Amino acid sequence: MKKRNLGLALTAVLASSTLLAACGSDDAKKGDTKKEDKDNFTVAMVTDTGGIDDKSFNQSTWDGIQEYGKENGLTKGDGGIDYLQSNQDSEFTTNLQKLVRRDFDLIFAVGYKLHDSVSQVAKQQKDSKFAIIDEVVEGQDNVASIMFKANEASFLAGVAAALQTKTDKVGFIGGIKSEVIDGFQAGFEAGVKAANPKVKVDVQYAGSFGDAAKGQTIAKRMYDSGADIIFHAAGGTGTGLFTEAKERKKKDPNADVWAIGVDRDQYDEGKVGDKNIVLTSVLKRVDIAAKDVSNLGKDGKFPGGKTITYGLKDDGVGLADSHGAITAETQKKIDEYKEKIIKGEITVPEKPGK
């Protein structure tokens, strides 16, 4: 009986040792996993109300984050890359807080309308990193501000419009009046004036970045009044411009109706059969900025408390390929003005009337 009891006791000890070793092995694996997760620099974003597929700012930011994720082996979801879509302004703060709780290392906020929400959440969450696009949050070391010299690229769009118009009348549709949109308008008007002072610019604001119907109404009014080229800086509202231009092109394939896109190359939005109504697009390389800042964060060089500005000089802004819509002569002039801006020979105004 004693031998049997001793054998049972030894068996129990061995079993316990094996179990503990197994648990230790699992814990080690969990520890390794945590370490691997920690090594990943995770990135997410909160959209403005234009939506993730706005063919503009939100989509461009997400493109940049996805490129960063692809290069670093990250997939969509916790521990990788992700986004939350804001359907109304009241969701900005909540969405930022949700991503903080999900432990993303860097959170992008797209658009100036998120300024107050970023400022508030960043103060509460000092250990989290934020980057806001098209706005500056001052005095917070955990917030990087990303700006673009959109006025410079808009100047080139103005040159293109002034030299390509056949009616000597062009249009500008703005979303909501703000310093950011002022830059687009100011640059465009300055470019038109520099290339051909006789050309008139019709300026109208929709009061929204998500009202396509309003955008179409404004575009119709402008085209009816003689404008043949219209540039929009209106986010989702600008889709109404494309709708109106395409409808006119369908009715009359020979009609001189053109639109200039914004933020990203919107050429695909202008297809009408084998024709296209997009003259060019003013590019703000938000995708490049999002990827750059994400990599800086990953490398331990997050530019918190700083403002990074992208312009013509560093290819942060520019004009998209016109796919033959712009003549070689006009393109030559555009290139000349671009060089003058880069060299500082031309200072592009940031506000209308300057």
Q: What CATH number did the domain enclosing 190 receive?
A: 3.40.50.2300
Average pLDDT over residues 332-347: 98
Is 282 within 8 Å of 226 (Cβ atoms)? no
Residue 353 lies in a domain: no
The pLDDT score that the predictor gives to residue 223 is 98
Q: Are 222 and 197 members of one domain?
A: yes
The number of residues in the chain equals 354
- In this predicted structure, the answer to whether residue 7 has a pLDDT above a threshold of 50 is no
Percent of the chain at pLDDT > 70 equals: 89
Q: Are 195 and 246 members of one domain?
A: yes
Average pLDDT over residues 31-57: 74
Q: Are 262 and 114 members of one domain?
A: no
For residues 98 and 102, what is the distance between their CA atoms, to the nearest angstrom? 6
Residue 349 lies in a domain: no
> Which of 281, 297, 162 minimizes the C-alpha distance to 233?
281
Domain count of the fold of the chain: 2
If one counts every other C-beta atom within 10 angstroms of the C-beta of residue 85, the result is: 16
Kindly give the pairing relationship between strand 317-319 and strand 278-284.
antiparallel
Average pLDDT over residues 197-218: 96
Q: Are 159 and 254 members of one domain?
A: yes
Q: Are 103 and 184 members of one domain?
A: no
pLDDT: is 23 or 50 the higher one? Answer: 50
Residue 32 lies in a domain: no
Kindly give the pairing relationship between strand 129-133 and strand 317-319.
unpaired
The pLDDT score that the predictor gives to residue 20 is 37
Residue 74 lies in a domain: yes
Q: What's the token pair of residue 279?
A: 């003259």
Q: Are 331 and 267 members of one domain?
A: yes
Average pLDDT over residues 319-325: 95
Q: Are 91 and 188 members of one domain?
A: no
If one counts every other C-beta atom within 10 angstroms of the C-beta of residue 298, the result is: 19
> Which of 106, 159, 111, 178 minimizes the C-alpha distance to 312?
159
Sign (positive/negative) of CA torsion 152, 155, 159, 165?
A: positive
For residues 287 and 248, what is the distance between their CA atoms, to the nearest angstrom? 32
The pLDDT score that the predictor gives to residue 354 is 66
Residue 101 lies in a domain: yes
DSSP H or E segment with residue 130: strand 129-133
Secondary structure class of 191 (helix, strand, coil): helix
pTM for this predicted structure: 0.79
Q: Are 87 and 180 members of one domain?
A: no
Residue 62 lies in a domain: yes
Q: Are 214 and 99 members of one domain?
A: no
Residue 176 lies in a domain: yes
For residues 227 and 166, what is the distance between their CA atoms, to the nearest angstrom? 9
- In this predicted structure, the answer to whether residue 5 has a pLDDT above a threshold of 60 is no
Average pLDDT over residues 14-27: 40
The 10s digit of each residue's pLDDT in 233-291 is: 998 899 999 999 999 999 999 999 999 999 889 999 999 999 999 999 999 999 999 99
Q: Are 70 and 159 members of one domain?
A: no
Structural domain harbouring 93 = 40-148+287-298+302-310
Percent of the chain at pLDDT > 90 equals: 82
DSSP 8-state secondary structure symbol assigned to residue 76 = B
Residue 233, CA atoms < 13 Å, CB-side half-sphere: 27
pLDDT: is 230 or 314 the higher one? Answer: 230
Q: Are 127 and 222 members of one domain?
A: no
Residue 155 lies in a domain: yes
User: What dihedral angle (degrees, nearest 10) is formed by the CA atoms of 87, 92, 96, 99?
Assistant: -10
Q: Are 269 and 181 members of one domain?
A: yes
